Structure 1
């Protein structure tokens, strides 16, 4: 806490200042009282380095080291060029690691599962052992070549550095392969700051998160939310509409139907966490685990379907929003005058023709209302990271 007994003011203003340089300073943020600030300066030469780990670094650029040589002229332009080069090399290395190398790892895993499947079926003959060994040797040879390319790209990315003077007055060497971008905020005009704002906004929307979701972008969360809600809408709409049509048009008006309607209304008020626990227990552990035992015994104990996934999440959201669609659709059906049904039947139409050509089109606004409400609730409940 802060002792305020020695101050004359009734209210004191304090500022939360980001100091950065977290590997050299204890706190990334610190509180500073207004009375402790002696002067405000905005040095134009101070730079902000956005890094892939350890957060931002603040300091004055001292030297730019390119392939072991110190650059003395046009340091900012050379530094910008070297940062772009390092970012491009890191992207190439990441694409190689997640693309070709990841594909080979997937093929090796498939071979392992294939061999285990032969063992479980007691069908692992000498010919199959030799075939699997040859395929595995070919993949490992290809993996070795790609690994050399990956190490070469990383070595090239680690070639350059920049030396920076931090707030302690000490010189710190930053490897450029960890630097994503840099800028001089105090040297920017209004237009430059506005452009930088939109660039950072684009990164926030389009990039992947870093540093345990404390930095980087939110693209996976946005994509996961949209995809999961769309999948939920595809699942819940036909089931909800068909259930509402059956309850209103076909089901007998008896105690069972009344209890079903009461249950549907009550389900709309169940907390979302209850649906989440049900989805985890039933879809993931029961249904997914049963599918693994039936179709993927060779993958045990690693789960295939018996693990949280977007399909199980969408099904859970569909159950969560099903009462909303049913209630909204049934209310729309109840608002259609009975004379419309009787007139259609009197003209010779069957009940099915009356339903699909007259009743459902007239109830489509209520169906869309239920779908919109379901999407709104589902979008507020999901948090895919």
Structure 2
């Protein structure tokens, strides 16, 4: 017994239990991360797969109604709850299965999803002629295709309706894209130039340079732009009239026949008639649309490209701002400042800043950057635009500055630790060879400390990319009308508001009027945000490892 106790003590003193505990904690952390990624991918990526549309009969009280829709979820529920909800069941089982079916046709029925008790569903079938119609508004539409109309006249019905519908949907999609380009690019360009003329006239008026000659010249340019605008409007109306030409006719669940204009249709397909290859092609196309298109239908449909672009742009601008300031602060405190009570107080303050709630930074950014700094910039440089603010409103620049301050302590601490690890002999050797302190710092010390700087930047990027609370105050919006980068000088517009993946997740998940429809997009967007952060971090990690290998020989000096 004594020998066993002695052996156990030796094993504990050797440190092996702590090694195993550490390895177990790391393994659990890896498993937790893998599980989160798997759950997010399973819930999000399956959203783009074309789902079969069922048709069934449902006994609702004394009558039987027809149900058409997509089966989304299954769960067991207590019979008592169903009886309390007024659903009559002939069963003695304490639990029964119920299913959640996406009925679509929200403009006709007033509801998009509904739970049905499985024992009351019968004659479940999957007809090949059932349509899934994705609309620009009101979500999905489900029904049996009956006919295709052109200018109110039936041009195809029966077996000929589906080929005709496919051709006309492609035509409608091409027209819709042409209208979108005309509105956003051509008409948007004319509106931009008209606004520049207005600002030019207002600026000349404030400076006392608005004479009759300049006023006449501005009016001439305005008349030319107005004529161009009128021509574009006529062309736009022509395209809209062409788009309104076609419509599909379908029979819905209650037996009524509904006409759906193709001007409102984003896509249409027959999922029950699709093979595996067709479904895979459909999945790839929908996933690409998710990455490259603008959102629609209160952000519950369409793509998230503006949010991806805004997130990357904000992180890059924030990195450009926080890195030099964080490095300079760390260099001063480690290399130049006299180590004493004041520096210790500054270090304590920097460490405490890392624990300040992020919303406090958002309030500071709104008060100082937006109202004080941005307001003064408008009064000094953009008086002609007032009272409409240019920089005196939340935007990309102020959001990046706010997050730069939020992540500054991380960069300072990491850089200081890197500078402290540089051997003193390296500094002394450089100085002995005749280099100045500045040359030693720039050419020797900072390159050796660069892996630690990159570590600080990696941590800063990871935190900034996932922040939401401060961004709600200093620049992020539900839907941005234009990207921060376009073809108008100065091409990079840091004063504009932008979309962000983190805020998009919050908005779709908690502010959406149709939570069930938005839930898969929440998972898909969350997965994309994680992958985006991983890509940014991996790029920084690769650069850090390269720098570490490059200067490893100096560290051993």
Q: TM-score, normalised by structure 1?
A: 0.95
Matched, 1:319 2:405: yes
Equivalent position to 1:28, from 87, 105, 112: 112
1:120-131, aligned counterparts within 5 Å?
Answer: 120-131=206-217
The 1-side partners of 2:290 and 2:255 are apart by 32
Matched, 1:206 2:292: yes
The 2-side partners of 1:108 and 1:9 are apart by 72
- Residue in 1 that maps onto 2:274: 188
The 1-side partners of 2:301 and 2:363 are apart by 30
- Residue in 1 that maps onto 2:240: 154
- Residue in 2 that maps onto 1:333: 419
1:169-248, aligned counterparts within 5 Å?
Answer: 169-248=255-334
Matched, 1:54 2:138: yes
- Residue in 2 that maps onto 1:105: 191
- Residue in 1 that maps onto 2:512: none
- Residue in 2 that maps onto 1:2: 81
Aligned partners of 2:182 and 2:236 also within 8 Å: yes
Once superposed, what is the RMSD of the aligned Cα atoms? 1.8
1:343-382, aligned counterparts within 5 Å?
Answer: 343-382=429-468
Could you tell which deviates more after superposition, 129-138 or 92-101?
Answer: 129-138
1:45-91 Cα shifts (integer Å, max 9, x gaps): 10101111111100011001134342246322221111111111111
Relative distance call for 1:347 and 1:128 in structure 2 (3 A) is closer
1:342-375 Cα shifts (integer Å, max 9, x gaps): 2222232221222122211211111111111111
The 2-side partners of 1:114 and 1:347 are apart by 60
Secondary structure of 2:81 counterpart: coil
1:174-219 Cα shifts (integer Å, max 9, x gaps): 1111111111111122332222222211111111100111211111
The 1-side partners of 2:222 and 2:373 are apart by 33
Equivalent position to 1:268, from 354, 369, 376: 354
The 2-side partners of 1:12 and 1:351 are apart by 79
1:132-151, aligned counterparts within 5 Å?
Answer: 132-151=218-237
- Unpaired runs of 5+ in structure 2? 1-79, 469-475, 477-498, 501-557
The 1-side partners of 2:373 and 2:339 are apart by 34
- Residue in 1 that maps onto 2:368: 282
The 1-side partners of 2:428 and 2:95 are apart by 75
Matched, 1:14 2:75: no
The 1-side partners of 2:326 and 2:464 are apart by 15
Secondary structure of 1:43 counterpart: coil
The 2-side partners of 1:327 and 1:306 are apart by 32
- Residue in 2 that maps onto 1:76: 162
Secondary structure of 2:356 counterpart: coil
Secondary structure of 1:307 counterpart: coil
Could you tell which deviates more after superposition, 290-299 or 117-126?
Answer: 117-126
Secondary structure of 1:172 counterpart: strand
The 1-side partners of 2:195 and 2:358 are apart by 37
The 2-side partners of 1:188 and 1:320 are apart by 51
Instruction: Tell me how far 1:12 sits from its aligned partner.
Output: 3.3
Aligned partners of 2:143 and 2:251 also within 8 Å: yes
The 2-side partners of 1:332 and 1:39 are apart by 70
- Residue in 1 that maps onto 2:200: 114
Could you tell which deviates more after superposition, 148-157 or 335-344?
Answer: 335-344
1:261-295 Cα shifts (integer Å, max 9, x gaps): 11111111111111111111211111111111111
1:113-168 Cα shifts (integer Å, max 9, x gaps): 22222332333322222222222211111111111111111111111111011111
The 2-side partners of 1:258 and 1:48 are apart by 66
- Unpaired runs of 5+ in structure 1? none
| Count of matched residue pairs | 385
- Residue in 1 that maps onto 2:525: none
Secondary structure of 2:134 counterpart: strand
